[in-house]
Structure 1
Amino acid sequence: MKVTRRTLLGAAGATLAAPALGQPRWPDRPVEIVVGFVAGGATDLDARAVAPLLEKRLGGPVVVVNRPGAGGEVALASVARARPDGHVLATTNMPGLLTIPIERQAQFKLEDFVGIANMVTDPTAMTVHEDSPYRTMADLIAAARAQPDRITYASPGVGTDDHLQLVLLQALTGISMTHVVFQGDPQLRTAILGRQVDVMGLNLGPVTANREKLRTLAMAGAARSAFRPDVPTLTELGFPVEMASERGIVAPAGTPPAILQRLREAMADVIRDPDFVRVMRERYTEPRYEEGTAWFTRLAGLQGNYRTLWQRTPWSQR
């Protein structure tokens, strides 16, 4: 038989797609991406953007499963206990991945997972109804100082980036607002549009994608966003607070190295895929790829910072 370049490439592709002799095929059933928040929120939409692109690279179905509750703890705990065979993954949100086990007797810890990839970073922001009397951060701070605990601040959970933005701002200014928790982005938007709360802590991407009747006073990125150059940073307004949601994908600790490597390679490809980049930009969110091992090494180094913050300003009480 004549061996051609096409023959060799076809054989190589078959080797990659098929399991090695005597080894089970993987995936042999749908791969689940478990999301700790309700459908329609930023984390859920990230997962749904990833799923069809990951399917193409794994050669099997990838489905998104929503398990909201406790600021993401319900979902993460379920994945921490899942069989580590690569069929059950989780989305993660920073800083919740680190802060939840610090603030409570959580059902998971960072070491229960291995990192596949960080996907995006999205700074948190402070947003009010367009008819709110608070037209600037100075207005909001002055009102909160004059009437402690009267102003209500909504977030998607204790220890989330949106909540810690408030914790740090209160520590800096000496003000005190009343924290109100909702399960996800849609509920937060409904609350602020219905005037049930005064201020919403939510990431700049979802706020910008649904900005009608909203006014964003400031955001907590290191610099102004190219998507919202009109929104000042808290730092430039004199409040040195930086906080953002980093959203990524993890697997249970103990996942076989070969499966983990395949997932990491596939996710690296997905995050660079023009279709993924386009969807993120349509949602005013910047992709930020970080390989799983390097990502988790960095997170392990950050744990001490959050423990110090907890000792200084225990956020569950605020």
Structure 2
Amino acid sequence: MRLIALSAAALMAAGAVSAQSDGGSAEDFPTKQMTYIIPFNAGGESDLSARFQQAEWEAVTGHPVVIQYQPGAGGAQAWSQLNQIAGDGYTIMGINLPHTVLQPMEGSVGYETDDLTPVNYFHYTPDAIFVPQDSQFETLEDLVTYAGENPGLVTFAGSGSNSSNNLAQAKFDGLADITTTYIPFSGTGPSITAVLGGQTMAGFNYATSGVNQGEELRMLAVAAEERLPAFPDVPTFTELGYDLVGGAYRGVAVPDSTPEELRQRVSDIVTEINERPDFIEKMETNGFVLTDIGYGDMDAFLEEMKAEYAEGAEALGIGG
């Protein structure tokens, strides 16, 4: 038994040395270029926020980060391969909620929620209700009144089944005591196109969509704790009497073999970028809400979110 214990200790020490072989102590990390994998196609909210980070990365670390894309299965293809990557800190991956909780609950996707090692969630994109500018719904109460009188007739476009948009629609139906119909599309772009084209009466989308569409869409309410700087005239659901706050959280994860000190270091880099004025301005102008959920707070945050999503999943009929 003593020999086995010594061997295990030697392996752990070797792993720690290997993880830091290019950078000495964690405080010196990184000493070379890093790779940032986005598990989606270019052009979406995950890509945009990573691009904003990329512009600040070298100023914070002294070395650049290169973004690569590994799309497939709503992110699951990349997340299922994350732990096969060397845990030396030099390859990190974008990670999203509620995706990484709901996907394994719905079925086999090649990973379990607890297999993943997020180290920082740095923003979320709040859910919001959109209608075309010529819609009969001038306010959220207009929509609620119509939906109450016409159960099921209000149709919402959203970015996929069992997404944050879908969770928000199901929760809002309960809060407002109405019945609406959710129609999933393959992403934010197609769902917004459906709203603009009149394929649905409204959309439960992300607030960031309002930046790109300008005056073509009217945002009736946003699921943020406070009004967004990009949309100061749009009320929150809370203001209007509905306890609805949430959206898609995005962050950074590392392979599970990454040593604790490097997990913390990557988290600290993301936090420092989050505090830079240019980054804050870009994110807020585009409708993102900054958060700072670092590695030290991660376990508590994930337990809270898993409980919240489990409740939402029950409303959606998954995970039972």
- Is the Cα contact below 8 Å between 2:38 and 2:47 reproduced in 1? no
| Cα shift readout 1:237-277 (whole Å, capped 9, x = no counterpart) | 23322222322111122213343233223222222222212
Change in 2 beyond 3 A, CA 1:281/1:308:
closer
Offset at 1:80?
Answer: 4.5
- Is the Cα contact below 8 Å between 1:145 and 1:175 reproduced in 2? yes
Offset at 1:174?
Answer: 4.3
| Cα shift readout 1:196-228 (whole Å, capped 9, x = no counterpart) | 322222222332353221001111223333432
Q: 2:5 is matched with which residue?
A: none
Give the 5 Å matches for 1:111-260: 111-260=114-263
SS at match of 2:214: coil
SS at match of 1:267: helix
Change in 2 beyond 3 A, CA 1:195/1:75:
farther
Task: Please give the alpha-carbon distance, in whole angstroms, between the structure 2 residues aligned to 1:52 and 1:214.
Answer: 30
Offset at 1:183?
Answer: 3.2
Letter in 1 for 2:307: G
Q: 2:316 is matched with which residue?
A: 314
Task: Please give the alpha-carbon distance, in whole angstroms, between the structure 1 residues aligned to 2:194 and 2:71.
Answer: 18
For structure 1, the 5+ residue unaligned runs are 1-15
| Cα shift readout 1:5-42 (whole Å, capped 9, x = no counterpart) | xxxxxxxxxxx996349xxx967665132233x32222
Change in 2 beyond 3 A, CA 1:65/1:181:
farther
Task: Give the aligned length.
Answer: 297
Aligned with residue 308 of structure 2, among 298, 305, 309: 305
Q: Does 1:94 align with 2:59?
A: no
Offset at 1:304?
Answer: 2.6
Change in 2 beyond 3 A, CA 1:148/1:81:
farther
- Is the Cα contact below 8 Å between 2:39 and 2:72 reproduced in 1? no
Offset at 1:46?
Answer: 0.4
Change in 2 beyond 3 A, CA 1:282/1:236:
closer
Aligned with residue 33 of structure 1, among 34, 37, 50: 37
Offset at 1:285?
Answer: 2.5
- Is the Cα contact below 8 Å between 1:126 and 1:216 reproduced in 2? yes
Task: Please give the alpha-carbon distance, in whole angstroms, between the structure 2 residues aligned to 1:276 and 1:223.
Answer: 20
Task: Please give the alpha-carbon distance, in whole angstroms, between the structure 2 residues aligned to 1:92 and 1:245.
Answer: 10
Q: 2:75 is matched with which residue?
A: 72
SS at match of 1:211: helix
| Cα shift readout 1:75-114 (whole Å, capped 9, x = no counterpart) | 3233254443334322223233323323333332332222
Q: 2:266 is matched with which residue?
A: 263
Change in 2 beyond 3 A, CA 1:73/1:147:
farther
Offset at 1:229?
Answer: 2.9
Letter in 2 for 1:33: I
- Is the Cα contact below 8 Å between 1:116 and 1:267 reproduced in 2? no
Letter in 2 for 1:85: D
Aligned with residue 283 of structure 2, among 280, 283, 286: 280
Task: Please give the alpha-carbon distance, in whole angstroms, between the structure 1 residues aligned to 2:48 and 2:75.
Answer: 15
Superposition RMSD on alpha carbons, in Å? 3.0
Task: Please give the alpha-carbon distance, in whole angstroms, between the structure 1 residues aligned to 2:80 and 2:95.
Answer: 11
Task: Please give the alpha-carbon distance, in whole angstroms, between the structure 2 residues aligned to 1:90 and 1:180.
Answer: 30
Letter in 1 for 2:188: D
Q: 1:7 is matched with which residue?
A: none
Change in 2 beyond 3 A, CA 1:114/1:128:
same
Offset at 1:124?
Answer: 1.2
Letter in 2 for 1:39: A
SS at match of 2:208: helix
Task: Please give the alpha-carbon distance, in whole angstroms, between the structure 2 residues aligned to 1:286 and 1:308.
Answer: 24
SS at match of 1:210: helix
